[in-house]
Amino acid sequence: MRELFESTIERLLADLATPEYVLGCEGGEWPAELWAAVEASGFTLAAVPESLGGAEAGWADLYVLARAAGRFAAPIPLGEALLGNWLLGKAGLEPQTGILSFAAEADLSLRDGAVVGVLRDVPWGRHAQSLVAIADRNSATPSVVLLSTESAASQTLSLNVAGEPRDSLHFTGARVLACAPLPASLSVEVLQLGGALLRSAQIAGALHALLDMTSAYASERTQFGRPIGAFQAIQQQLAVFAEQAAAAGIAAEAAFAESDTLFATFTIAAAKVSTAEAASVGAGIAHSVHGAIGFTQEYSLHLLSRRLWAWRSEFGSASLWSQRIGQMVCGAGGEGYWALLTDHANQQLCTLERKSA
């Protein structure tokens, strides 16, 4: 399934998500044509069980979709819809067609089929028709809820560094479209983990595209009578970039592959840490090699670098996930360290008190 997913999504995004198109959507313009094409291809239902009309693909196969979304800087909630529908399916709820997103940061209470509270940092919140979240997170009976965006009492609009909507929505007693208990096999953090998983793949995809773009530029741009890529100073920087892009790719792929049935929390955390570091190094080298032209709005380098700067901090920064890994590791002690690493796919992270800005 993975090869078919990959070839189809890459063709679709290469045709429609051109740099001009992506730039035009920054600041909150909704890419109706692109979304319609993605939805028509059935990608938003890829993770839904076959019994509910989906393709029942596992995360190992879905990796290529999230990576392609990153590679083309697709200005749509493709990963968000995938994850939202996956969670609905896990909870036994009907999947959603239409624009679907989710909120990992939810402070929401559910009483008699209505919700009160707030969803923060919702990707494409202003454009979404429905949203998946977890209500009553701190209770013994958390629920998966599906909310209509229209039913929000108010919205607080916000954009990330790349001009992608990250909105907050406030609910004051709105009826839910659907709800079900969160399955016992899933943590209340499932959307935070899922978000980190998606962003790690998007970063890997964007870094790959940025590396290709930067090495091509180094071969074309001539100074002192030679392509700048012929200079060792540039070669060594691009080698470091390639190493980091490779590390990001395998870290993200491992997180998806090991999450096929349940989220492998340590592997996802490690992926977010590794991709965030690679994003920082890669974006820096790409700009350094490109020089002034890469700093202009006209040249499309920034479509990738600004997304790397945005995505590395979403759903938990490298710092946050590092701390959580570190607490788990220190809890096991030096003697238990290696056994914990080799059995990483079965480890559970400790929870951290999160300080919000």
Partner 1 sequence: MSITQFTYSRIPAEAESLRDEVREFLQNNLGDYPTTARAQSWMGFDAAFSRKLGAQGWVGMALPEQYGGAAAGPFARYVIIEELLAAGAPVSAHWIADRQSGPLINRFGSEAQRERYLPPICRGESYFCIGMSEPNSGSDLASIKTSATRNDAGWLLNGQKVWTTNAQHAHFMIALVRTGEKQAARHEGMSQFIVDLRLPGITIRPIRDLAGGEHFNEVFFDNVQLDADALIGTEGKGWDQVTAELAFERSGPERFLSCIELLKTLISAVGRQPDALQSREIGRLSAKLLTLRNMSLSVTAQLAAGEHPAWAASCVKDLGNLFEQEIPEVAQLLLEAEPRQEGGSEHAQVLAYLTQMAPSFSLRGGTREILRGIIARGMGLR
Give the footprint of partner 1 on this chain (CB under 8 A).
208, 211, 215, 218-219, 229-230, 232, 234-236, 238-240, 242-247, 249-251, 253-254, 257, 266-267, 269-271, 273-274, 277, 318-319, 321-331, 333-335, 337-338, 341-342, 344
What are the CA-CA distances from residue 87 to residues 44, 92, 184, 223 (Å)? Answer: 12, 9, 13, 53
Q: How far apart are CA 75 and CA 13, in angstroms?
A: 10
Give the residue with the Cβ less far from partner 1, 110 or 204: 204
Give the residue with the Cβ less far from partner 1, 161 or 247: 247
Q: How is residue 236 annotated by DSSP?
A: H
Q: How far apart are CA 131 and CA 40, in angstroms?
A: 20
Least distance in angstroms from the C-beta of 55 to partner 1? 21
To which residue do tokens 């491992």 refer?
254
Strand order from edge to edge, sheet including 143-148: 100-102, 130-135, 143-148, 178-181
Give the residue with the Cβ less far from partner 1, 22 or 325: 325
Least distance in angstroms from the C-beta of 316 to partner 1? 12
Least distance in angstroms from the C-beta of 195 to partner 1? 17
Element holding 280 (H helix, E strand): helix 265-290
Least distance in angstroms from the C-beta of 157 to partner 1? 32
45, 96 in Cβ contact below 8 A?
no
Least distance in angstroms from the C-beta of 324 to partner 1? 7
Q: Of 321, 293, 13, which Cα lies nearest the Cα of 195?
A: 321
Q: What is the largest CA-CA distance in the chain?
A: 74
Least distance in angstroms from the C-beta of 271 to partner 1? 8
Give the residue with the Cβ less far from partner 1, 178 or 328: 328
Give the residue with the Cβ less far from partner 1, 293 or 330: 330
Least distance in angstroms from the C-beta of 261 to partner 1? 14
Q: How far apart are CA 232 and CA 258, in angstroms?
A: 39
Give the residue with the Cβ less far from partner 1, 100 or 308: 308
Give the residue with the Cβ less far from partner 1, 156 or 348: 348
Q: What is the dihedral of CA 13, 16, 20, 25, to 10 degrees?
A: -90
Least distance in angstroms from the C-beta of 225 to partner 1? 16
Residue type, 273: V
Least distance in angstroms from the C-beta of 99 to partner 1? 31
* Secondary structure in 3-state letters for 76-108: CCHHHHHHHHHHHHHCCCCCCCCCEEECCEEEE
Q: Which residues in 182-328 belong to E strands, given as ranges?
A: 222-223, 226-227
Q: Assign residue 82 a region: left if phi > 0, alpha if psi is -120 to 50, beta otherwise?
A: alpha
Give the residue with the Cβ less far from partner 1, 170 or 344: 344
Give the residue with the Cβ less far from partner 1, 157 or 352: 352
Give the residue with the Cβ less far from partner 1, 44 or 274: 274
Q: Of 33, 11, 9, 8, which Cα lies nearest the Cα of 21?
A: 33
Lookup: tokens for 64: 């290529």
Least distance in angstroms from the C-beta of 127 to partner 1? 33
- The span from the first CA to the last CA of the chain, in angstroms, equals 41
